[in-house]
Amino acid sequence: MPDDTIRAMALSWSAALLLVPNATVIEYVGGNIRPLWIGPIFYLRLWIENHGAGRAEQVQVFASKLYKKDVNGRPFPVADFEPMNLRWSNARDLNNPEIFALGISPGFGKHCDLCSISDPANPTDHPNFPNYTNQCVGTLQLEVVPSGDRNRLRPDDYIVEVRVGAANARPVTACVRINIKGPWSSEPATMFREHLGVEIVQCPVKT
């Protein structure tokens, strides 16, 4: 049973975007690694911190809902979004991502990858979006890649509902707004100020 003395997790937005200037997108062909593209990628990360009294065990971060705003600014659920866990950051093996963190001690935290956004020159980010070839497309860092590019975020205003849980703590829920405007800059300050909006927001009221 969850221990009420462990006040679950506190979810907060990491202060800055992480830029990987020479990220390599690869694929496996016949057991061999083949590079598909090399270039800069931004990672949007959540900082998951334990503010409880005890160690949280088997911690997971679950993307439970995806909303998109309509022309009047009202969020509506994306019907074909497939809820699943997000990946913890800094995995040593990209084909075997860390989904359940073994534990987070009181007063400590851990980064979780929410979304990546790369230079539009990256052809793997626009497999079926010919109308967005010169714009940024976000990629949700889900546990597995769903069919039909349902992990892709074309330029628009989104809200991702995230639930953080542990084997011995009650889950907490927070919502993250991701506003992808389309243009790209390899300068983090310019990207964050002009082309990409990210903030923790109030979750939409369920109807």
Entry pTM: 0.87
Q: What is the pLDDT of residue 123?
A: 80
Strand-pairing partners, residue 75, are 69
Q: What is the pLDDT of residue 181?
A: 95
Confidence of residue 29 (pLDDT cuts 50, 70, 90): low
Q: What is the pLDDT of residue 125?
A: 79
Q: What is the pLDDT of residue 77?
A: 96
Render pLDDT for 47-79 as a digit per residue (tens, 0 to 9): 888 887 788 899 999 999 999 999 898 999 999
3-class DSSP assignment, residue 156: strand
**Amino acid letter, 189:** A
Q: Which of 51-55, 84-88, 116-120, 145-149 has the lowest mean pLDDT?
A: 51-55
How far apart, in Å, do the first and last CA atoms of the chain sit? 30
Q: What is the pLDDT of residue 207?
A: 58
